[in-house]
Every structure is written in structure tokens, then in C-alpha cells.
Structure 1
Amino acid sequence: MKFTGLYEFTEAGLEAFRQAFDGELEEEAIDLTNDAIARKITGTTAFTVSDWASADEMATAILGSIGSVNIKALLGRKGVWGWLSFVCRDVVYPEQKNGHRKLGEVWRWFPSEPEDYQKGQRHLIRMPVLLKSSFGDAAEHLLIGSPSVPGELREQLTSQQDMFHESFQRVARLLYLEPGKMKLRRGAGGKGAGSSRRLAQVRKQLDVTWDLFALSPDQLLEKLPKEFDRFRLKASESAPL
């Protein structure tokens, strides 16, 4: 699907979207050309829904269409993310063999209030856009999977607002992402030593002693315990932080 810009659902459109994904309304009943349902956001540019291979590609495409609009001005507008969820539904919430969409928890598709971080963090479109706009290539390890699957690393390494810091994410990217291959290193997920789950736990422990926001990626990397050595050694052979 191609659009002349990004749009946002009105309150009526957002309610119709919720009903459609809840199975109370046919998706075809939502008329995107009706101003009472959706309105173009002034200043945005052409947007095309594609079969993106990764959440990174999807976020890049959306950010490429914001035009003269500041992305921060859009993050709190639920109608924007509802509209994007609806028009991108075949890629992000694909139909299964039984004919039903793979929706999962409601907050994966219906945008929560922006100040509710725990719910907002789960949205499969807004969160990738937020990560990409905030961290650029430092978010690659969180966005390499299919748009429909957030992946364990994103869930582990964005579950707390304190993790939303570029130094922390650059360290995680260096530890777990195979440079140039856009795939995760073996053992990055799961519960084992040095895994992303352990990094999230160790971050809390380090935060008791250190102001992690004041540390550079190199300094933070040095403070990780020995269990991260197997990843740290590979990280030292990778591209600079």
C-alpha cells in the first residue's frame, strides 16, 4: 500500500481499529479515505508499506516519511500508531493458517498511553521507531528480527526505562551482534552466563555503585563481571563502540 504521507486515526478511527482487531468489525469496513476516520499529518511525506525483513527496515521507512515533523511530537499521538498498526497489519500482524491475525497481547498492536512505559514498550511499531530514532545503529541488536517478532533481546534490554541509554545499548550491541552479519551471537538469548538476561540483572547491581548514565561504553564494558568475557573478547575484535 502507498500513501501520500503518514496519517493518524481520529478517535472514531481508533475505536474502529480496536473493534476490527478485536473481531467486532470487518477490517474492510474501515474507510481510510474518510476524514472522519483518518487524517493526513501535515509535513509528512510519501509512505509505502513493504514486506520488510526486519523491524530495523520498518522503522527506517517510517522515519523516512516523517518529513518536517519532529518524531517526538508524534510519539504521544495514539492515532498515529493505531493507523500504522492497521495499514502495516499484513507485515507486523500477519494472518495465520486459521485466518486469524497473530496479535498477541493487546499492547502489541493498540497504542497505550505514552507515559505508561511498560505497556508502551511492547508496541511492535512505536517501540522500534523510538529505538531507531533515539539510538540509530546502536539499536541494531534490538531490531534485527521480523517486525512481527520483537525477540528476546528487545524484551530483556528495554523492559526498564533505566536501560534506555545509548551507552548501555552500544555495549549490548557490541556484545551480542555479529558485525556485518545482522545476526546475534550464540548464547545472546536465554538465561546463561553473559546472556542478555544476565546483562539486564547485572546492570541493576552496577547501578547501586555507579552512575551508569555517566559512564562511556568502554567504561561500562570494563565493569562487567568475568561471565561476560566470552562476549567481551569478541566485542574487542569488532568495530569501535
Structure 2
Amino acid sequence: MKFSGLYEFTGAGLDAFQEAFHGLLEEDAVSLDNPAIAKRIDGTHGFEVIEWVTSRDMAAAIFKSAGKNNINTLFDRPGLWAWLAFVCRDIVYPRRKDGKRKLGEVHRWYPSEASDFQKGQRHLIRMPVLLLSSFGSNADHLLLGPPSVPGEVREQLTSQQDMFHPAFQAAAKTLYFDPTTGKLRRGSGTKKGGSSRRLATVRKQLDVTWDLFALSPEQILEKLPKEFDKFKTAKSA
């Protein structure tokens, strides 16, 4: 599916989108060619929906199509992220065996206010773009999974707004991302010692004593307890 640029739903388009995803309207009835439903965003470039392997691939494609627009100015345009959710639905919200889409919690597909971090971080399209824009290659550990499956590591390491910091995510990437295989290290997404779940908990404990925003990635790693040593010293496969 190809488009001349990025579009955003109008108010009527947002209503139709919600009705379609709630099963109250046939998806084919949402007319993307109707300017009363969706309008092209000036300055954006061509966009093609393909079967992206990872969330990073998807985010990079959207980032590229933003063209001369500052991507940061687009995050608070719910019509754009709703349009993307709709046109990318077969990739990001695929149908289950019963024919219904794998939608989950509403904010995974309907964009909340960008300022509402707890809800905003759940969107399966806007959040990957935000992570790539904010952290670049230091978001690799967060964007490895397919667009439809954010994964445990991303769920844990973006669940608190204080985690949204370059040094913290750089430290997390050092722990959990294997640059040789391009995959997560074994045990990263478990509940065991040194896992991403534990890092989320330990970060809050360390923040009582240290201003983590003032530390480098290396200093954050130095302050982690011994349970993280197995990830610090992990060898690439």
C-alpha cells in the first residue's frame, strides 16, 4: 500500500476509525481518498506500508516520510497516528484466527494526548517513532521486536517517565543488546536477577540516593548490584 505522503484523519476520520476498530463500521467504509476523512500533511514524502521485520524498521520508514517536518511537531497530532494505525493495521494489529484484530488495550491503537505519558507510551506506532527520534541507535534494545509485539524489555524500560533519558537507555542497551547477533541477550526479558524488570526496580532505588540524570551510562552501570554482572560481562554469541 503506497501513499504520496503522510496523512492525518480529520475529526470525521477519527470517528470513523474508532467505529471501524470497535467493529461498528466496515473497515472498507473508511474512505482514505475522501478529504473529509483524511488530509495530506504538507512537506511529507511518500510512504509505503510493507511487512516490516522490526519496530525500528517501521519507525525509520515513518521518520523518513516526515520529510522536512520536525518529527517532534508531529507527536501531538492524533489524526496522524490514528491514520498510521489504520493503514498499517494488517502489520501492527493483525487478525487472529477468529478473524478479529489483535487490538488489546485501546491506547495501543487510538493515540492519547502525547503529554499523557502512561497512555502515550502504549501506542504501538507513535512510541517506536518517539524512541528512535529520542535515542537513535541507543533505542535498539527497545525496537527489536515486530511492530505488533513491543516485547517485555520495552514494556519494562519505558513504563516510567524517568527512564526516558539517553544515559539510562544507553546503559540498558549495553546490558541487554548483543551487537554481534543484533538480538537481545538471553534472560533480558525474564523476571530473574539482572533482567530488564529488575533494572526498572533498581533504578527507582538508586534514584533515592543519586541524581541519575547527572550520571553517564558508565557510571549508572557501575552502581548496579552484582546481579547485573552477568549482563555486563556477557560475551557476544
Equivalent-residue separation in structure 2 for 1:158 and 1:109 (angstroms): 17
Offset of 1:39 from its aligned partner?
0.3
Indicate whether 1:227 and 2:227 are aligned. yes
Q: 1:54 matched to which residue of 2?
A: 54
Q: 1:127 matched to which residue of 2?
A: 127
Offset of 1:167 from its aligned partner?
0.6
Please give the per-residue CA displacement for 1:32-57, whole angstroms capped at 9, x wherever unaligned: 01110000000000100010000010
Q: 2:75 matched to which residue of 1?
A: 75
Q: 2:32 matched to which residue of 1?
A: 32
Structure 1 residue matching 2:233: 3-state secondary structure:
helix
Offset of 1:156 from its aligned partner?
0.3
Q: 1:160 matched to which residue of 2?
A: 160
Scaled by the length of structure 1, the TM-score of the pair is 0.96
Equivalent-residue separation in structure 1 for 2:60 and 2:182 (angstroms): 15
Please give the per-residue CA displacement for 1:8-61, whole angstroms capped at 9, x wherever unaligned: 000110110000000000000011011100000000001000100000100000
Q: For 2:55, give the aligned amino acid.
A: A
Q: 1:140 matched to which residue of 2?
A: 140
My pick for the range that moved more, 15-24 or 172-181, is 172-181
Offset of 1:189 from its aligned partner?
1.1
Equivalent-residue separation in structure 2 for 1:180 and 1:69 (angstroms): 34
Q: For 2:166, give the aligned amino acid.
A: E
Please give the per-residue CA displacement for 1:180-222, whole angstroms capped at 9, x wherever unaligned: 3221111111211100011001100111111111111111111
Which blocks of at least 5 consecutive residues in structure 2 are unaligned? Answer: none
Equivalent-residue separation in structure 1 for 2:191 and 2:100 (angstroms): 32
Structure 1 residue matching 2:74: 3-state secondary structure:
helix
Equivalent-residue separation in structure 2 for 1:36 and 1:221 (angstroms): 52
Q: 1:195 matched to which residue of 2?
A: 195
Matches within 5 A, 1:170-181: 170-181=170-181
Matches within 5 A, 1:3-42: 3-42=3-42
State the 4+ residue runs in structure 1 displaced beyond 4 angstroms: none
My pick for the range that moved more, 128-137 or 173-182, is 173-182
Q: 1:149 matched to which residue of 2?
A: 149
My pick for the range that moved more, 174-183 or 145-154, is 174-183
Equivalent-residue separation in structure 1 for 2:109 and 2:177 (angstroms): 27
Structure 2 residue matching 1:8: 3-state secondary structure:
strand
Please give the per-residue CA displacement for 1:45-100, whole angstroms capped at 9, x wherever unaligned: 01000100000100000001000101111000100000000000000001112111
Structure 1 residue matching 2:43: 3-state secondary structure:
coil
Q: For 1:101, give the aligned amino acid.
A: R
Structure 2 residue matching 1:75: 3-state secondary structure:
coil
Give the total of aligned pairs.
236
Equivalent-residue separation in structure 1 for 2:183 and 2:207 (angstroms): 29
Offset of 1:116 from its aligned partner?
1.0
Please give the per-residue CA displacement for 1:114-143, whole angstroms capped at 9, x wherever unaligned: 111101110000000000011011001010
